[in-house]
Amino acid sequence: MNAQTLIDNPDLSALTAWLSEHADELDADGPAQAELLSRLARSGLFRVSVPEELGGNGQPVSQAIDVIAEVARYSLTAAFVAWGHRTFIEYLLASPNFELAQQWLPALLEGEIAGATALSNAMKYLSGIEDIQIRATPHDDGWRLNGKLFWVTNLDPKGYLVAAIVENGPDHPPSIALLDSRQEGLTRSDNLDLLALRGSSTAALQIDNLTLEPSQIIHPDALRFCPSIRPRFLGLQCGMSIGHVRASLDSISLRARQHNGSYLQPALSALQETLEQHTTALYEGVNNGLFATAPAELFKLRIALAELVQRATNQELEATGGNAYLLDKPTGFGRRWHEAAFIPVVTPSVSQLKGELAKHEDHSA
Ligand SMILES: Cc1cc2nc3c(=O)[nH]c(=O)nc-3n(C[C@H](O)[C@H](O)[C@H](O)COP(=O)(O)OP(=O)(O)OC[C@H]3O[C@@H](n4cnc5c(N)ncnc54)[C@H](O)[C@@H]3O)c2cc1C
């Protein structure tokens, strides 16, 4: 099977037509962002790879990665929002608190409320490079929370849920909690002033004496939950790189056809082949559970795909020439160039992963 043509979902074509029209606006904080989540939900993409009995299509997780890739081919802003929302759904599917999934899945699958993952703090805490940013103190049957989350995407002003790691003192492991935008004590900043992806509803959250009930606990032990969720968290995220490379390859192919650019063919074929290899390895590894026991293999793939994004974008620039610099030429290159700068920094960032791989190699030496 050709991994690049895994999905042939007719509903996605309406979405991608809308994304082609609004990609620059989404990147630049324009009004289309208000419609983004409902457009994504209407395509049915949040149901992909969710179990059938919970409202999904029951397909392997590779299919969810592939739909995120198809979205990223048109807009990385949309793909990142789709990733955050779909990953939040994955947390509820993996939660032992089944009531939480029952309560929220229907609204999440319909895009009626936004799901946001603030777990970069958790991932960095597990790597020993950041302290937990939210502290819990016991209160009645539950807790009071205080702290700050510096980066959270998909904080739809109409309403959102956030998954975050919470410090519970020296005698208990940190937990993963669900915070609800309707709760008192949760304050959203304005959208952050970003280089790109400005329509991704990315803001900071201040948490002051927020009451957390036991029913809001996604998992009582973040140290067990995070490694178990990581293959899907990271696998779904790789969809963004795959889609971004596909967009550059589309653009290079067009130039190759337009300008007798047969000299472009070897570079194009090499990029296509590498993308195909990485995509196939990723899809097989997430579907067969390899990355649960061999996380380093997934880390290497994430780094390799991030490098491929940079190579493909550079090749696209060479193939496009001066037109890449003209804002009145609708090449999409300028947006993709900015978007590409996001790929290495999203958690787990390429720096974080290289640090983890270095530790892994030290241990196995
Ligand atoms: C547009 C945007 C949206 C975002 N949305 C979200 C979101 O929804 N949820 C969320 O949780 N986060 C989000 N983030 C945060 C993001 O995912 C990363 O956490 C953040 O950008 C990277 O952290 P950092 O700046 O500390 O850089 P890092 O890449 O972590 O690196 C910073 C420094 O630490 C060093 N370092 C890194 N790893 C190691 C290591 N293992 N050992 C030693 N040194 C190391 C590096 O050398 C570097 O100097 C978002 C970020 C952006 C830009």
Which domains does the chain carry? 3-114 (1.10.540.10), 117-221 (2.40.110.10), 223-364 (1.20.140.10)
Query: Does residue 5 register a pLDDT over 80?
Result: no
Contact 117 CB / ligand 1 (< 6 Å): yes
Please provide the DSSP assignment of 218-282 as one string. EES-HHHHHHHHHHHHHHHHHHHHHHHHHHHHHHHHHHHHHTT-GGGHHHHHHHHHHHHHHHHHH
pLDDT digits (tens, 9 = 90+) for 302-334: 999 999 999 999 999 999 999 999 988 889 999
Q: Give percent above pLDDT 90 in the chain.
A: 89
Tokens at 337, concatenated: 């160039």
Cis-peptide, bond into residue 348, ω within 30° of zero: yes
Mean pLDDT on 233-239: 98
Q: 3-state DSSP call for residue 337?
A: helix
Residue 274 is encoded by which pair of tokens? 């590498």
**pLDDT, averaged across the chain:** 94
Q: Cα dihedral sign for 290, 165, 90, 98?
A: positive
Segment 99-104 mean pLDDT: 97
Q: Is the CB of 84 under 6 A from ligand 1?
A: yes
Least confident span in 1-5, 285-289, 312-316, 339-343: 1-5
Question: Tens digits of per-residue pLDDT, 267-302?
Answer: 999 999 999 999 999 999 999 999 999 999 999 999
| Gap between the Cα atoms of 136 and 126, Å rounded | 18
Out of 80, 87, 151, mutate this one to test ligand 1's pocket (max ligand atoms within 8 Å of CB): namely 151
Establish whether residue 355 lines the binding site of ligand 1, counting it when its CB lies within 6 angstroms of any ligand atom: yes
Q: Closest residue (by CA) to atom 43 of ligand 1? A: 355
**Nearest-atom index, ligand 1, CA of 84:** 8
* Ligand 1 pocket mutation pick from 352, 359, 362 by most atoms within 8 angstroms of CB: 352
Vertex 152 angle, CA 84 and 60, to 5°: 15
What angle (nearest 5°) sits at the alpha carbon of residue 213, between those of residues 209 and 216? 110
Gap between the terminal Cα atoms of the chain: 38
Q: What is the pLDDT of residue 6?
A: 42
Average pLDDT over residues 202-222: 98
What is the pLDDT averaged over residues 169-181? Answer: 96
What pLDDT was estimated at residue 365?
A: 65
